[in-house]
Amino acid sequence: MDYQTPQDRQYTKSHEWVKIDGSTATVGISDYAQHALGDIVFVELPDVGASFGVGDAFGVVESVKAASDVYLPVSGEIIEINEALLDAPETVNSDPYGAGWLAKVQLSADASDLLDPATYAQHVAEEASK
Amino acid sequence: MSHYISITDRDRQAMLEAIGAAAVEDLFAVVPTSVRFPTLDLPAALSEAEAASELRRLSSKNADVLTNACFLGAGAYHHFIPAAVDSILRRSEFYTAYTPYQPELAQGTLQAIFEYQSLMSGLMQMDAVNASHYDGATALAEGAIMALNSTRNRRKIVVAPSVNPQYRAVLRTYTQGLGVSIVGDERPEASLADVVALVDDKTACLIVQSPDFFGTLHDLKPVAEQVHAAGALLLMATNPVALGLFQTPGAVGADIAVAEGQPLGIPLSFGGPYLGIFACTEKLVRKMPGRLAGATTDLNGQLGYVLTLQTREQHIRREKATSNICTNQGLMALAATVHMALLGRQGLRQVAEICYHRAHYAAAEINKLDGYEVLSFGPFFHEFVVRCPAPAAEINRALEFASIIGGYDLSADYPHLGNAMLFCVTEMNTPADINRLVATLKG
Amino acid sequence: MNTYEPPIFELSGSGKVGASLPAVGVPTSELPSELLRTDDLQGLPELSETEVVRHFTRISQRNFCIDTGMYPLGSCTMKYNPKIHEEAARLPGFAHIHPLQDEASVQGALRLSYELQQLLAEIAGFDEVCLQPAAGAQGEFAGILVFRAYHLDRGDEQRDEVLCPNSAHGTNPATAAMVGFKVIEIATDARGNVDLADLRAKVGPRTAGLMLTNPNTLGLFDEHVQEVAQIVHDAGGLMYGDGANFNAILGIVRPGDVGFDFMHYNLHKTFTTPHGGGGPGCGAVGCKAFLAPYLPGPIIHHENGQYTRYVPEKSIGRVKSFMGNFGMFVRAYTYIRMLGAAGLREISENAVLNANYLRVKLQDVYPVAYDRPCMHEVVLQGKLKDAPDIHTLDIAKRLIDFGFHPPTVYFPISVAEAIMIEPTETESKQNLDAFIAAMRQIAHEAVETPEVLHAAPTTTPVRRLDEVGAARKPVLKYDRAAIAALRGQAASTDDQIVRPTY
């Protein structure tokens, strides 16, 4: 199984992606993650204005038989959430790196410990073979 | 061999051979020998006829509400149950099935739950009703926990003293490990206004009951407004029978509504099994504990039903679940469903009217008696408080001789009322029963 | 069985009544107009008794139940429900007594409850029993609250962790969290036991207790249960026994004799009070004497021929209204009295025999999760050779077409593609052989005609249902337009929909 791993962003071991643009970042879950969860039926997102540290659970992505916390790859304050997902959670399945983004964050510190696309692809390959 | 077991000695021998064991005992070799095969000190086995006879003997030692006139309520109520309710309940297809884990084999149970949710939602005028809780008390406690989980940094619960004392006790049991403060009912005589005044920006919810434990009906619309203005939720406990006639939780603006469902087609049965009705607004559905059925289609496009929004539940979320509740009160919810369907739009109103008028007639007649006084806390439904000339226990003993089960003795829970008891009158108390009660009280 | 039955609202007709009610019969009183309901109960239907009975009878026929056939749901103990139990629970002196009546007027009911306490205590080896909890999950809740109260009462305030094996039922961690404890997961060893090394590494001064199901959810009796109890006790923790699988060990071993301090009984499993489509149950709890002061109440006491109720002195409080699900007490009491000690042991012997028979007859085709004799249930895996696209779900759905209720699937979560089969003692060898033949046939089909499995079931009132759609756009109550949309029809504006003719 091949999973998309776009080159223009970074990843976490828990399968989130983050795209940093100056002092803000957009976050979502990876193609592998949406695939592992299956049909996504509900997305729970934080309130705009809430602050989180690196690795904090800031949302939940649910399929029929699983609920998966989503961890913030960076620290900062939520400045925008993808409200379209509340009515169309399946967008996370169909376009995880585009219209299926989850939240935008105002960074409070420089990001660290993120995986580059090649390292993440390697990590996915290992997980998938388990 | 017991008559429930379908294995013959010959079968057993063949099965043991297949397994490779010499005797059934060998299958338990893993159990430490020192504690294996204990001698249980139990009474000798009874045949079915002997057991039936023993049970009838025990049953006959209880004073039932069919042969005695019962004026006792206080959270459990003697109502008319159409014979058709139990006839449906006794269908094996319903009572010997389990939680509908395989929806293709459980459309009966699932459609019944869906109709329960629908009928109850109509009766309560609430957006969503779950497949039920154990009883009214646990529904209330879980409603309070849901309020805590649905608000931020609010760890205070305000509860009126006129909420059923057992419900308040269960609320305290349920929340004892959660670091919350429960206030409002320290003084049993506190008024609703006193209690509403305690709601502040640290309050998760206000819990009120209408009709309350004393039978009193409250207009909760202004209360809901005040509670919402403080950013808290309103949790309303109610009686489903009263809703045939009176203001509903939905009309009031309650966020969470709970009730004891026993009055809807479930026999008194010495306190259980009963039915916890649990309803909330659409906004709170995903925080709701308990099972939910939903409508969907099968791969041929046929209408069908499934358990849904299951990620809230313990079997998926484990320690992060909204509650540990696993079962619902399936068969009791079915009883309420059939009962509501039979009574229907007209019958539900009619039962409420009979209760109301007969209770008011009884109250008026008792109030005429020397030494008795109906303590009016406002408009009431089918229960009312009477101050008595002697301790309630003494009066109830006298009533017992006349084959009357008297009211609830309020002296332990509400000592400020003095010698007071709570009477309940339903459609099962005939006018003749009421007159006999009044005559017996008169002495 | 395949006919569609519309939602009850679509059978409604203005003016119909389904119940016969008395006249008011007394002078009427004024109604408080400002407190009245104003919608005239528009959301409620109107039907005759005939229609209501027919509707619910028809939908009942869309259910599978124990009285229809084998229902081998693992850890649910779907055994036969004796009919005498239903008669007993409906006796007027049981079904029609008020829970707040004077104790003198309910001595028979109190006596039955007291005797059931004694019977349950003896069967599991405990000193005191409280019947109040309404279900297994509520029994767990009572137990973990008791653990908390016990530690706090001793001034032992740092114990904020509860240990649960990774094979535990979801209610265990959910319960511990509800009481405010942190849940620590313990690994399972290669033979399906609690991993002692992992336990030793995680137990300590913060351990309030361990929640253990034994036999566990893998269908295995923990080979080191006494050692597990010793380790937990040495650390000052307590042992909670989840009685979900008690059906395997009646008269075989008493949990109280192998180190458990507290346990819940599932009367709806072991003592066959019917499951009722999901409840009611009864999760009575038993414990050793040193925990008895903390039990919920009331509990029944017997002295000088009188039965009375009391609440233990340091009680955690009541967990529900009144005394508990009394109707379930009557059924369980009847069962135990009719079986006696020898009859109870026969239950477990036959339950374990049946499960092991299934194990040896299926393990060459379906891998067993742990290769050793099981207790009352066996956990297989739906991983078939040469059938890579077949999953446990397909096997389960195909079983339906053979006339069996599927076993519990995908649980325990620690076993991939789990199929957890609990035949119970009431199934005959004939039925077991038919089940074995069906399972083997399915394994064969999985390789030869996998499309048959993917399409299953085909013999049921509905086929596989769209659970994704149900969760994305929840329809949780009747709404004419929503139901019509699901059925692919325009919503009728006609007030009365014509009932289809069959």
Nearest chain C Cα distance for residue A117, angstroms: 30
Task: Spell out the residues 6+ positions from residue B429 whose beta carbon is closer than 8 angstroms to its own.
Answer: B69, B70, B71, B358, B362, B437
Count the neighbouring beta carbons within 10 Å of the beta carbon of residue B294. 23
Residue type present at position B179: G
> B423: which 2 tokens?
């009477």
> B2: which 2 tokens?
């017991």
Of B286, B316, B320, the CB nearest to A65: B316
> B244: which 2 tokens?
């045939």
**Tokens 């369980």, located at residue:** C332
Domain-by-domain residue ranges, chain A?
10-109
User: What is the pLDDT, as a whole number, of residue A1?
Assistant: 64
CA C265 to chain centre: 11
Asked if the C-beta of A95 comes within 8 angstroms of chain B's C-beta atoms, the answer is no
Task: Spell out the residues 6+ positions from residue B6 whose beta carbon is closer than 8 angstroms to its own.
Answer: C426, C427, C428, C429, C430, C431
Distances, alpha carbon C477 to alpha carbons B110, B128, B339, C480, in Å:
12, 7, 18, 10
Asked if the C-beta of A77 comes within 8 angstroms of chain C's C-beta atoms, the answer is no
Cβ contact C404:C72 at 8 Å: yes
CB contact under 8 A, C254 and B31: no
Residue A47, by phi and psi: left (phi above 0), alpha (psi -120 to 50) or beta? Answer: beta
Task: Give A-chain residues touching C467 at CB under 8 angstroms.
Answer: 64
Distances, alpha carbon B84 to alpha carbons A124, B77, B89, B343, C57, in Å:
60, 19, 9, 11, 11
Pick the CATH number of A10-109 from 2.40.50.100, 2.60.40.420, 3.40.980.10, 3.40.50.2300: 2.40.50.100
Task: Spell out the residues 6+ positions from residue A26 whose beta carbon is closer than 8 angstroms to its own.
Answer: A18, A19, A101, A103, A104, A105
Determine the 3-state secondary structure of C123 from DSSP.
helix
In whole angstroms, give the CA distance from residue B255 to residue B220. 12
In whole angstroms, give the CA distance from residue C412 to residue C97. 42
Neighbors of chain B with 3 or more C-beta pairs under 8 Å: A, C
Of C140, C280, C482, the CB nearest to B332: C280
Domain-by-domain residue ranges, chain B?
69-81+345-442, 83-339
Of B109, B294, B405, the CB nearest to C277: B109
Task: Give A-chain residues touching C468 at CB under 8 angstroms.
Answer: 39, 41, 63-64
Nearest chain C Cα distance for residue B167, angstroms: 7
Count the neighbouring beta carbons within 10 Å of the beta carbon of residue B229. 9
Pick the CATH number of C86-339 from 3.40.640.10, 3.90.470.10, 3.90.550.40, 1.25.40.10: 3.40.640.10
Distances, alpha carbon B396 to alpha carbons B271, B409, C97, in Å:
20, 9, 16
Asked if the C-beta of A41 comes within 8 angstroms of chain C's C-beta atoms, the answer is yes
In whole angstroms, give the CA distance from residue C491 to residue C488. 9
Task: Give B-chain residues touching C137 at CB under 8 angstroms.
Answer: 314, 324-327
In whole angstroms, give the CA distance from residue A92 to residue A100. 4
Count the neighbouring beta carbons within 10 Å of the beta carbon of residue B231. 15
Burial environment of residue B67 by CB neighbours within 10 A (0 to 12, 13 to 18, 19 or more) = exposed
- Between strands C207-213 and C161-165, the pairing is parallel
Of C86, C92, C426, the CB nearest to B4: C426
Asked if the C-beta of C468 comes within 8 angstroms of chain A's C-beta atoms, the answer is yes
Task: Give B-chain residues touching A64 at CB under 8 angstroms.
Answer: 310-311
In whole angstroms, give the CA distance from residue B94 to residue C279. 11
User: What is the pLDDT, as a whole number, of residue C490?
Assistant: 60
CB contact under 8 A, B311 and A62: yes
**Does the pLDDT of residue C497 top 50, yes or no?**
no
- pLDDT one-digit tens code per residue, C214-234: 999 999 999 999 999 999 999
Name the residue in chain C with its Cα closest to that of A42: C472
Asked if the C-beta of C342 comes within 8 angstroms of chain A's C-beta atoms, the answer is no
Task: Give B-chain residues touching A49 at CB under 8 angstroms.
Answer: none
> B355: which 2 tokens?
């209760």
Q: What is the pTM of this model?
A: 0.95
> C355: which 2 tokens?
């499960």
In whole angstroms, give the CA distance from residue C96 to residue B81. 11
Number of helices (H), then strands (E), belonging to chain C: the values are: 14, 12
- pLDDT one-digit tens code per residue, C459-473: 999 999 999 999 999
- pLDDT one-digit tens code per residue, C423-433: 999 999 999 99
> C162: which 2 tokens?
């509860």
Nearest chain B Cα distance for residue C345, angstroms: 9
Residue type present at position B327: T
Neighbors of chain A with 3 or more C-beta pairs under 8 Å: B, C
User: What is the pLDDT, as a whole number, of residue C491?
Assistant: 57
Backbone angles phi, psi at A10, to 5 degrees: -120, 170
Cβ contact B140:B235 at 8 Å: yes
Q: Which helix (H) or strand (E) holds B277?
A: strand B276-280
pLDDT level of residue C493 (50, 70, 90 thresholds) = very low
**Does the pLDDT of residue C1 top 70, yes or no?**
no
User: What is the pLDDT, as a whole number, of residue C89?
Assistant: 98
Peptide bond into C82 cis (omega under 30): no
In whole angstroms, give the CA distance from residue B90 to residue C56. 12
For C231-296, strand residue ranges (E) read: 238-243, 262-265, 285-287
Interface mutation vs chain A, best among B311, B312, B317, B318, most A CBs within 10 Å: B311
May I ask the CATH architecture of the domain B69-81+345-442? Alpha-Beta Complex (3.90)
Backbone angles phi, psi at A11, to 5 degrees: -135, 170
Asked if the C-beta of A56 comes within 8 angstroms of chain C's C-beta atoms, the answer is no
Nearest chain C Cα distance for residue A39, angstroms: 7
User: What is the pLDDT, as a whole number, of residue C488?
Assistant: 86
Nearest chain B Cα distance for residue C473, angstroms: 9
> B117: which 2 tokens?
């949710």
Nearest residue to C281 via CA among C327, C312, C322: C327
pLDDT level of residue C43 (50, 70, 90 thresholds) = confident
What is the DSSP secondary-structure string of B184-231?
A: S-SSTT--HHHHHTT--TTEEEEEEESS-TTSB----HHHHHHHHHTT
Torsion sign, CA atoms C302, C303, C306, C308: negative
> B390: which 2 tokens?
């002697």
> C488: which 2 tokens?
């692919």
Residue type present at position A94: S
Compute the mean pLDDT over every residue in chain C, rounded to the nearest whole number: 95
Percent of chain C with pLDDT over 90: 93
Cβ contact B297:B288 at 8 Å: no
May I ask the CATH architecture of the domain B83-339? 3-Layer(aba) Sandwich (3.40)
Task: Give B-chain residues touching A59 at CB under 8 angstroms.
Answer: none
CB contact under 8 A, C472 and A62: no
User: What is the pLDDT, as a whole number, of residue C500?
Assistant: 38
In whole angstroms, give the CA distance from residue C106 to residue C111. 9
Asked if the C-beta of A64 comes within 8 angstroms of chain C's C-beta atoms, the answer is yes
- Between strands C238-243 and C262-265, the pairing is parallel
Cβ contact B434:C26 at 8 Å: yes
Q: Which residues of chain B have pLDDT under 70?
A: none
Interface mutation vs chain B, best among A40, A61, A64, most B CBs within 10 Å: A64
Cβ contact B192:B198 at 8 Å: no
- pLDDT one-digit tens code per residue, C331-382: 999 999 999 999 999 999 999 999 999 999 999 999 999 999 999 999 999 9
Task: Spell out the residues 6+ positions from residue B13 whose beta carbon is closer than 8 angstroms to its own.
Answer: none
In whole angstroms, give the CA distance from residue A90 to residue A22. 29
Output helix, strand, coil percentages for chain C, rounded to the nearest 5.
40, 10, 50
Task: Give C-chain residues touching B23 at CB under 8 angstroms.
Answer: none
CB contact under 8 A, C471 and A90: no
Distances, alpha carbon A60 to alpha carbons A45, A67, B111, B180, B311, in Å:
7, 7, 30, 26, 11
**Does the pLDDT of residue C501 top 60, yes or no?**
no
Interface mutation vs chain C, best among A1, A37, A39, most C CBs within 10 Å: A39
User: What is the pLDDT, as a whole number, of residue C399?
Assistant: 98
**Does the pLDDT of residue C486 top 60, yes or no?**
yes
Each of the 130 residues of chain A gets a pLDDT tens digit; together they read 689 999 999 999 999 999 999 999 999 999 999 998 899 999 999 999 999 999 999 999 998 888 889 999 999 999 999 999 999 999 999 999 999 999 999 999 877 789 999 999 999 998 877 6
Neighbors of chain C with 3 or more C-beta pairs under 8 Å: A, B
Domain-by-domain residue ranges, chain C?
86-339
**Does the pLDDT of residue C58 top 80, yes or no?**
yes
CB contact under 8 A, B311 and A67: yes
Nearest chain B Cα distance for residue C257, angstroms: 7
How many Cα neighbours within 13 Å face the side chain of B206?
A: 31
Count the neighbouring beta carbons within 10 Å of the beta carbon of residue B49. 9
Name the residue in chain B with its Cα closest to that of C80: B4
In whole angstroms, give the CA distance from residue B208 to residue B158. 9
Angle, in degrees to the nearest 10, between helices C136-153 and C171-179: 40
CB contact under 8 A, B310 and A64: yes
Q: The complex's ipTM?
A: 0.97
The residue-averaged pLDDT of C49-61 equals 97
User: What is the pLDDT, as a whole number, of residue C502?
Assistant: 32
Burial environment of residue C386 by CB neighbours within 10 A (0 to 12, 13 to 18, 19 or more) = exposed
Percent of chain C with pLDDT over 70: 97
